[in-house]
Amino acid sequence: MQHIKQMMQSHPLFHSLPDFELDVLMEHSIPMIQAKDHFLIHERETRGELYLLVRGLARSILINESGAEETIHFYQPGDLIGLLHQFSDEPALFSVQTTEKCELLVLPKGEFHRLVQKYTAFAEKLTIEMSLRLQQLYQTLAVEASQHPIGLETYPYRKKVGDLMTRPPITIELNTPVVHAAQEMINRKISSLLVTEQEELVGIITEHDLFQMIPQHSSIPHTRVSDLMSRKLVTISPEAFFYEAMLKMINNNIKHLPVVKGKNIEGIITLRSLSDFRGHSVLTLVEKIENVDSLQKFIQINPLIISFTKEMIGGNSTTWELCPILTEFNDRLLRKIIQLAEKEMINEGFGPPPVDYCWIAMGSEGREEQTISTDQDNGMIYGDIENIEDQKTIDDYFNKLSEKVVFGLEQAGIPRCKGGVMATNPHWRKSLSGWKETLLNWFSYLQTEDIRQFTIFLDFRPIYGNINLAKELRKMLFTEKRKHPLIYPLLVEDDAGSSVPLGLFGRLLVDKKTGETLDIKTSALVHFINVMRILSLFEGIEDVSTLSRLKQLKKKGVFTEEEEEEIAHSFQILMDLRIRLHLEQIEHQSPLSNTLNVSRLTKHERIQLKKSLTTAKWLQHRLLRMFQVKGMRI
């Protein structure tokens, strides 16, 4: 049996176990011989064993949606068979069959449970191993799905700018007379020209620039392109995606984007070309937001945002494509609401804001991850007041302003926060000094009931007003956190207090009383958010979005490139499932919630969910080990 022990010692899963534990494991294991073509695991079976393949060869087989047989993986000596489902109460997702005579060792379920409970590093490696298996299974199904696409035309949100741009680019020299530029646009039936000097891009001139010259027609003959062109260029790479071009146009209020690669001018993409590819729905929505002239009229906007979300999801867009655009909508919406609220305050005789202030978003909006059902999470920082007697008068002003803003957001379909995390609540509306005092109290006396408030605050992002107030507060946050290292175990314990709904060997732990459901936000997404938040605070990373934090953590070496990819993909799967769930609830006019009915998922979606939950579980184990939080098992 020595050769079998050596085989186990060479398996990455068992590296963290002491030698005597391998002896105990082998003592309770049973050797077995199976003939060629024997099924070790049958698809749809709910019981079975965990095997170590000692000699021979086996393969895992998946019956895909079209009924065809797919080989997922070949097992060789030293591989474990049955990790994903042999200890699960759920039906197996695939079969495992020997392809030649095999010698196996049946490993005991009870011993695996004991080792997981006793050794955190072993539990973490087991979770990683299962995640890799699920990733492989998911990729097999994804390839199958791509070979059998459903539906006809889809929206081009995943198309590259290089595929959509107009080429070759039409350029004109810097010192060309404007009349020649106008004639060139007319002849070529285009609305802009890229301006060059010695073949280098230096500006852009558009038909709008020419229209502005008409009132001064007497000077046109003497005007050069250099006198009218826009020198502040906004450009984009041909490798950028369609949705990124839309975002740049929205953010910069422009209709023409030069496409460049290095110093080379590759082409141009315009609002007109985006409209040809249905991009006009984005820009139409932006225009409607900007044209709203009263807080009551924002009730017209929410159906348009839902309709747009349906368009993108219907075009198979993913979270990383949808969330930046929804965030831009929500930020513009909020800024417009605040501007109208300020006008109402003036019209009602309260005057303009008495001191500088900064409106901050927190929660999912702060992290740029807001979806359809998200409620409000916001706050306000206002400038310090020299005369303490004026404190109440000024706070009363901002209370009235906040109430108008919160009302406007309600009209736009974003409900009030049930927990009161809004600027209408004095706890979330304070002077800069008041916020600093609260921050010091959190660090010094953080209690269980304060942890949720502190974590909400950590995701704050300035939206409107004097952003220097927010910057100063964040600077203090990262200065003070160095003095309070004990805060990290508290945050880790808080996350570990909510377990991932996944059994030891991949069984989904659902609420059967409600029909096999789980809360996709509080039992799944929250763990990705918490882990990235805690590690970013520890590493001094100021980014607030989950994926941005992950990217920065990878740059600092906290995660490898492969781990970053796995975490990002798992997080996006959960976000996609959540958005699709909300759209389905809207379609059936049901109350919006995060309760996902697992029994209604397809095989593909079920594998995706398991894969993501396995990654969440691994992240929790990693936090426990990193911050040495003992006495807890997830």
CA angle 75, 78, 82 (to 5 degrees): 55
**Res. 495 pLDDT band, cuts 50 70 90:** very high
Enumerate residues 6+ apart whose C-beta is below 8 A from 306.
372, 413, 583, 586
Q: Of 402, 403, 381, 385, give the one whose Cα is nearest residue 393.
A: 385
Task: Report the C-alpha gap between 93 and 611 in whole angstroms.
Answer: 13
* pLDDT of 152 higher than 50: no
Residue of 313, 461, 300 lying closest to 378 (CA atoms): 461
Residue 604 vs residue 541, higher pLDDT: 541
Please, which pLDDT band fits residue 125 given cuts at 50, 70 and 90? confident
Sheet arrangement for strand 102-107:
30-34, 102-107, 50-55, 80-81
Cβ(592)–Cβ(373) under 8 Å?
yes
State the number of CA atoms in the 13 A half-sphere of 349 facing the CB.
0
From start to end of 254-350, where are the E strands? 256-261, 264-270
CATH 3.30.460.10, the chain: domain bounds: 292-438+462-468
**For the residues 400-405, what does the mean pLDDT come to?**
97
Q: Residue 147's pLDDT band (boundaries 50, 70, 90)?
A: very low
Asked if 93 and 606 count as a contact pair (C-beta separation under 8 A), the reply is yes
- Pick the residue with more confidence: 469 or 78? 469
State the average pLDDT over residues 509-538. 91
pLDDT score at 150:
32
pLDDT computed for residue 340 by the predictor: 95
What tokens does 152 get? 């006809």
Residue 91: band (very low, low, confident or very high) from pLDDT cuts 50, 70, 90: low
CATH 3.10.580.10 domain locations along the chain: 164-276
pTM for the model: 0.70
Q: What pLDDT does 282 receive?
A: 65
Name the more confident of 90 and 370: 370
For residue 56, give both structure tokens. Answer: 């021979």
Distance CA 151, CA 523 (A): 33
CATH 2.60.120.10, the chain: domain bounds:
2-147
Assign domain 164-276 to its CATH architecture.
Roll (3.10)
What value does the mean pLDDT take over residues 526-550? 96
What pLDDT, on the 0 to 100 scale, is given for residue 542?
95
CATH number of 488-626: 1.20.120.330
Share of the chain above pLDDT 90, in %: 41
- The contacts of residue 579 (CB under 8 Å, 6+ apart) are 309, 313, 319, 322, 371, 372
List pLDDT tens digits, range 162-190.
888 888 889 999 999 988 998 898 888 88
Q: Would you state the pLDDT for residue 222?
A: 76
* pLDDT, average across residues 455-470: 96
Residue type for 145, please?
A
| 292-438+462-468 has CATH 3.20.20.70 classification | no
Distance, in Å, from the CA atom of 508 to the CA atom of 506, rounded to the nearest integer, reads 6
Instruction: Name the band, by pLDDT with cuts 50, 70 and 90, for residue 68.
Output: low
Q: What are the tens digits of pLDDT across the range 236-281?
A: 999 887 767 877 887 787 888 999 998 899 999 887 776 554 444 6
pLDDT 10s digits, 301-335: 878 888 877 777 766 667 777 787 788 788 888 99
CA distance 182 to 426: 58
C-alpha to C-alpha distances, 55 to 1, 24, 27, 39, 329, nearest whole angstrom: 13, 22, 19, 16, 59
Q: Which of 46-60, 495-509, 533-547 has the highest mean pLDDT?
A: 533-547
Alpha carbon of 410 to those of 113, 286, 306, 380, 552: distances in Å?
49, 19, 15, 18, 34
User: How far is the CA of 550 from the CAs of 108, 532, 556, 564, in angstroms?
Assistant: 37, 6, 10, 7
The residue type of 562 is E
Task: Work out the pLDDT band at 64, boundaries 50, 70, 90.
Answer: low
Residue ranges, CATH 1.20.120.330, the chain: 488-626
Average pLDDT over residues 519-533: 95
CATH number 2.60.120.10 given to 2-147: yes
- Per-residue pLDDT tens over the stretch 548-581: 999 999 999 999 998 999 899 999 999 989 988 9
